[in-house]
Amino acid sequence: MLKKSPILVCAVCGVFMITQYFITAEPVTDLYRSVLDWMQIIFVCALLVGIINVILRQVRMASRPGRERIYPFITLFGIALMVILGFGWGIARGSPFLWVFDNLQAPMQSTVFSLLAFYVASAAYRGFRARRAESIILVLAALIILLGRVPIGEIVSPHVPSVVGWVLAVPAVAAKRAILIGIGLGMTATAIKVIAGMERAYLGGR
Amino acid sequence: MKFDRRFIFILIVLAVMIPLLFPIDLPVAITDETRAVYDRINVLDSNSVILMSFDHEASSLPEVRPLAEAVLTHCFQRDVKTVGLALFAEGTAIGYDILNDVAARYGKMYGIDYVYLGYRPQYSAAILGMGESIRGVFPADYDDTPYDSIPLLSGVRNYDDIDLVISVADGSLPTYWVEYAQARYGQKIIAALAAVMVTAYTPYVDAGQIDGLLGGLKGAAEYEKLLGQPAAATRRMDAQSLAHLSIAVLIVIGNIIAFAVRRGKRITEEGRS
């Protein structure tokens, strides 16, 4: 029963969400609105489970001896600090919560993200090798896109932006469409399998 | 041939720092896709309501903030009513800041000219829910003012009353806007994206599912030029240009060295045989 109930719930919800798209009757629309509310409620509960899981994991890590135990302490301190600041002084403009976010979290995240530029440059130097015909095309496309997506491309040659436009609008879109169609078909097939109870990986099994 | 990667790092630092300290003012050419977004917003007026969703994380702030500011500037210049919200938790505070900053520059009144609804989790349910009732998804704004007591929102029930949704994103959120707001409710959507996501969304523009695409710092710089107000993006384009040029030069040098090494090996092997 424990295993069958989620499959049944999933099948009923799945079939309902498909059929409601085509039915505009008021009772069905009302039920649809309730389902949307429930989706948010379930998500918030899942978020809560996630937060508890992170805290328990960090507490376990902090209790282990070693130099790296400082990191879980920092994480736990960060969680506690933001909760206290948020509930204590609110989240409006000028609040300590927003000050911490604007002056600590946002610059730190931007800094870590910016480091990618250095690794991209280093990897481009070491990795972009024109050995075969395919890799020559790849290197040439990379060079054209790199220069064409910034103003300097037009200084190099007035044709660079139009070539970039063609590369992005034709070969790149063709490849992207093929991937999107593949993903769409895969999602449809998986959804049907989940609704039919054939796909049960989400229950923790195989 | 080994090359100390620290030289590459120093080169990138210099390529970024020098133009920021000593601007070169490289000319920014306006692309059709940016002009299309500008024209789309330019037809809106004080009777129009747009919904700007801050669907991004803090990491991409240097790129998405100029995008959001440029579009918001245009909207406020045209007295377009603006409703802000966030579907990513991290975008919540950022969106609140950006909206208030730009609104203050144009003397806009909160609750009358613009409003910020804050964050709602589970974006697919939130996007679908707003198609039925925005009030149902956001019973109060970010400051906890009830929806019904905000003058701007008095005539805003659902997507029928929203002229345009602008998703400022660095990830896949515009896909959900297309799948749930555009496909189901016929909502017009513009995506203001981090540059890395532009290729992913070009098919949606071609298919007419997205009305316009504004891409990366370059898109923001082009928009600033169209507005006649060069700002952060225009200043940063010089740095991005030189960084791109440096990487291109590194790729060329890397290939020349690799070619020379391969050629040297071949000559040595031929000499042995």
Quick: pLDDT tens for A94-105: 899 999 998 999
Q: In B, which residues are within 8 Å of A126 by CB distance?
A: 254
Question: Based on the structure, what is the number of domains in chain A?
Answer: 1
**A15 close contact with B: CB closer than 8 A:** no
Residue A1, in any domain of the structure? yes
Contacts with B, A 160-179, CB within 8 Å: 161, 165, 168-169, 172-173, 176-177
| B244 contacts B195 by C-beta, under 8 angstroms | no
User: pLDDT class for A158, splitting at 50, 70, 90?
Assistant: confident
Which residues from chain A sit within 8 angstroms of residue B255, using beta carbons? 128-130, 139
Q: Write out chain B residues lying below 8 Å of A165, CB-based.
A: 31
What confidence tier does A200 reach under pLDDT thresholds 50, 70, 90?
confident
* Chain A residue numbers touching B94 (CB-CB < 8 A): 106
> Does A5 map to a domain?
yes
Of the candidates A110, A108, A106, A59, the one whose C-alpha atom is nearest the C-alpha of residue A80 is: A59
Q: Is the residue at A42 inside a domain?
A: yes
Token pair for A106: 């946002």
Dump pLDDT digits (tens) for B142-186: 989 999 999 999 999 999 999 999 999 999 999 999 999 999 999
Give the Cα separation of A122 and A162 in Å (integer): 28
CB of B238 closer than 8 Å to CB of B25: yes
Q: Provide ipTM, 2 decimals.
A: 0.82
When pLDDT is cut at 50, 70 and 90, the band that residue A205 belongs to is low
- CA–CA distance, B80 with B191 (Å, rounded to integer): 18
Yes or no, beta carbons of A36 and B129 under 8 Å apart: yes
Burial class (CB in 10 A: 0-12, 13-18, 19+), B47: exposed
Give the DSSP H or E segment for A69. none
Class of CATH domain B31-232: alpha beta
A150 inside 8 A of chain B by CB: yes
Q: What is the rounded distance in angstroms from the CA atom of residue A67 to the CA atom of residue A59?
A: 15
- pLDDT per position as a tens digit, A27-36: 998 999 899 8
Tell me if A52 is assigned to some domain.
yes
- Among positive and negative, which fits the CA dihedral B30, B36, B38, B43? positive
Dihedral angle, C-alpha A176, A182, A186, A189, nearest 10 °: 140
pLDDT in tens, A85-138: 999 998 888 899 999 998 999 999 999 988 988 998 888 888 888 888 989 998
What angle (nearest 5°) sits at the alpha carbon of residue A60, between those of residues A56 and A65?
160
Q: What angle do CA B87, A57, B120 make, to 5 degrees?
A: 10
A158: phi > 0 → left, psi -120 to 50 → alpha, else beta; which? alpha
| Of the listed ranges A28-42, A192-206, B90-104, B227-241, the one predicted with least confidence | A192-206
Res A1 pLDDT > 80: no
Interface-testing mutation among A149, A163, A187, with chain B (most B C-beta atoms within 10 A): A149
| Cβ-contact B145, B110 below 8 angstroms | no
Average pLDDT (B62-68) is 93
A85: containing domain: 1-89
By C-alpha distance, the chain A residue nearest B196 is: A149
Where exactly are the structural domains of chain B?
31-232
Establish if A119 belongs to a structural domain.
no
Q: How far is CA B224 from CA A104, B76, B145, B197, in A?
A: 28, 14, 34, 20
- Judged against a pLDDT cut of 70, whether residue B91 lies above it is answered with yes
Q: pLDDT digit string (tens) for B175-185?
A: 999 999 999 99
